[in-house]
């Protein structure tokens, strides 16, 4: 009888272990199921840790400044220089400093609190949620080469899948030989379909084909990748405008035109944003690579100067490292000692 009980116990352990192995095998490294199930939700990244480079750059200077015990003209000049060093921008830094000073703080702690309010106030109060209208909804993603546009698209698709949306990608970057392959790798990783065209083919035709397939097969969201364009190349910007016109003709309206900006480029992002806004009507910004720069203040500058809301920020290479932008949380993460 004891032998029988031992055998039963061993068998039970083996079964449980087998189930665990199957569950682990059935998931990719990013949490995506091999059978196409939606990615497993991960804990949100620690924003303070991810923004540590900017926080360190600002914090070290703010710490000595706020602890100096003085709130004279020199203090306010130093505060403005500190903000400029974090790429808040000259215009925005001056406005934020003046707003902070107008609150008449009496000591360093009060000045820091007033600065936090002023920085948040420098950004827009527009809705930052994705505007997914139509069936299927269309999200057009634009930007120059090297900003992390393709990876941001994949991360965005993963977020939508986790929200039970059925997503299809359009590989409308038909000029760069490796673009299709890169998007396919990411699409497989997050478990979404992708439509590609021949190398050098009309990007607008790929966007059109993808939209038609999405409408016919019951997809509710189309995300369109486009070739990375320098804003100075008018012919390429005109072609991007053509893609937008085709999508608007088919869908009636594009829900979102998201511009992906590289946070490490600092003030150059302002010029890029202006050019793309003129060409296609940008509705929101995705600011990438903020974990790898001390210039995180650029997110504040872009909003203050252009009035285009930052909707997501990229703070790492993982699928879950694209997070919704919250001005208050962002500023708190930057200013905490």
pLDDT digits (tens, 9 = 90+) for 131-166: 999 999 999 999 988 888 999 999 999 999 999 999
Q: Over 90: is that where the pLDDT of 193 sits? A: yes
Q: Cβ–Cβ contacts within 10 Å for residue 72, how many?
A: 9
Last residue of a domain, one of 95, 121, 147: 121
CA distance 319 to 66: 38
User: By CB neighbour count within 10 A (0-12 exposed, 13-18 middle, 19+ buried), where does 7 fall?
Assistant: exposed
Q: 151 and 95 in one domain? A: no
Q: 168 and 286 in one domain? A: yes
Q: 204 and 78 in one domain? A: no
What value does the CA radius of gyration of the chain take, rounded to a whole number of Å? 24
The answer to whether the beta carbons of residues 287 and 310 sit under 8 Å apart is yes
160 part of a folded domain: yes
Q: Over 80: is that where the pLDDT of 16 sits? A: no
Structural domains counted in the chain: 2
pLDDT of residue 42: 52
Q: 148 and 262 in one domain? A: yes
Convert the pLDDT of each residue in 60-111 to its tens digit. 788 878 877 788 899 999 999 999 988 888 999 999 999 999 999 998 889 9
Last residue of a domain, one of 121, 154, 187: 121
Under DSSP, the state recorded for 44 is: P
Nearest partner of 203 among 261, 247, 252, 167, judged by Cα: 247
Mean pLDDT, rounded, of the chain: 82
Nearest partner of 189 among 38, 20, 25, 18, judged by Cα: 38
Look at 50-64, 196-210, 241-255 and tell me which has the smallest mean pLDDT: 50-64
Q: Cβ–Cβ contacts within 10 Å for residue 55, how many?
A: 22
pLDDT category, 40, cuts 50, 70, 90? very low
Tokens representing residue 280 in the block = 């296609």
CA distance 192 to 167: 6
User: By CB neighbour count within 10 A (0-12 exposed, 13-18 middle, 19+ buried), where does 190 fall?
Assistant: buried
Looking up tokens 């702690």 gives 109
128 part of a folded domain: no
List % helix, strand, coil for the chain (3-state, nearest 5).
Answer: 55, 15, 35
CA distance 10 to 69: 71
More confident: 180 or 9:
180
Tokens representing residue 292 in the block = 């790898």
pLDDT of residue 334: 84
Check which CATH number belongs to the domain holding 152 and give it. 3.40.50.300
pLDDT of residue 133: 92
Looking up tokens 């620690």 gives 46
**Residue 10 CA from chain centroid, whole number:** 49
Nearest partner of 209 among 166, 160, 169, judged by Cα: 169
Angstrom CA distances, 337 to 35, 67, 112, 118, stand at 45, 12, 10, 18
306 part of a folded domain: yes
Q: Over 70: is that where the pLDDT of 41 sits? A: no
**Residue 6 CA from chain centroid, whole number:** 55
Convert the pLDDT of each residue in 216-233 to its tens digit. 999 999 999 988 766 556
Q: 245 and 165 in one domain? A: yes
3-state secondary structure of 10: helix
pLDDT of residue 261: 94
- Kindly give the residue spans of alpha helices, DSSP state H, lying in 124-229: 149-162, 179-190, 203-217
Paired strand residues for 137: 134, 221
Q: 183 and 61 in one domain? A: no
Q: 233 and 303 in one domain? A: yes
pLDDT of residue 6: 45
Q: Over 50: is that where the pLDDT of 24 sits? A: no
Check which CATH number belongs to the domain holding 114 and give it. 1.20.120.140
Convert the pLDDT of each residue in 279-299 to its tens digit. 888 999 999 998 888 778 889
Strands 322-324, 310-314: pairing kind: antiparallel
Q: Give the domain range for residue 63.
A: 47-121
More confident: 48 or 71:
71
Q: 215 and 74 in one domain? A: no
């Amino acid at each position: 009888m004891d032998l029988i009980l031992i055998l039963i116990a061993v068998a039970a352990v083996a079964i449980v272990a087998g189930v665990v192995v199957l569950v682990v095998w059935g998931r990719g490294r990013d949490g995506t199921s091999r059978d196409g199930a939606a990615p497993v939700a991960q804990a949100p990244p620690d924003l303070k840790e991810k923004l540590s480079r900017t926080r360190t750059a600002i914090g070290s200077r703010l710490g000595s400044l706020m602890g100096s015990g003085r709130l004279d003209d020199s203090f306010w000049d130093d505060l403005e220089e500190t903000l400029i060093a974090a790429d808040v921008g000259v215009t925005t830094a001056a406005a934020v400093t003046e707003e902070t000073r107008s609150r008449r703080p009496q000591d360093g702690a009060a000045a820091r609190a007033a600065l936090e309010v002023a920085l948040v106030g420098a950004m827009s109060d527009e809705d930052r949620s994705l505007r997914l209208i139509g069936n299927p909804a269309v999200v057009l993603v634009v930007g120059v080469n090297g900003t992390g546009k393709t990876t941001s698209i994949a991360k965005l698709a993963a977020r939508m899948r986790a929200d039970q949306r059925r997503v299809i990608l359009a590989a409308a970057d038909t000029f760069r030989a490796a673009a299709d392959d890169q998007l396919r790798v990411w699409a497989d990783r997050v478990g979404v379909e992708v439509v590609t065209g021949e190398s050098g083919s009309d990007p607008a035709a790929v966007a059109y084909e993808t939209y038609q397939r999405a409408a016919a097969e019951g997809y509710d969201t189309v995300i369109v990748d486009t070739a990375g364009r320098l804003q100075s190349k008018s012919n390429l910007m005109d072609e991007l405008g053509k893609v937008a016109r085709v999508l608007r003709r088919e869908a009636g309206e594009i829900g979102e035109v998201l511009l992906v900006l590289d946070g490490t480029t600092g003030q150059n992002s302002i010029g890029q944003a202006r050019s793309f806004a003129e060409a296609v009507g940008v509705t929101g910004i995705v600011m990438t690579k903020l974990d790898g720069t001390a210039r995180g203040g650029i997110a504040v500058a872009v909003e203050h100067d252009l009035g285009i809301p930052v909707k997501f920020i990229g703070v790492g290479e993982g699928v879950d490292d694209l997070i919704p932008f919250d001005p208050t949380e962002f500023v708190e993460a930057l200013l905490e000692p």
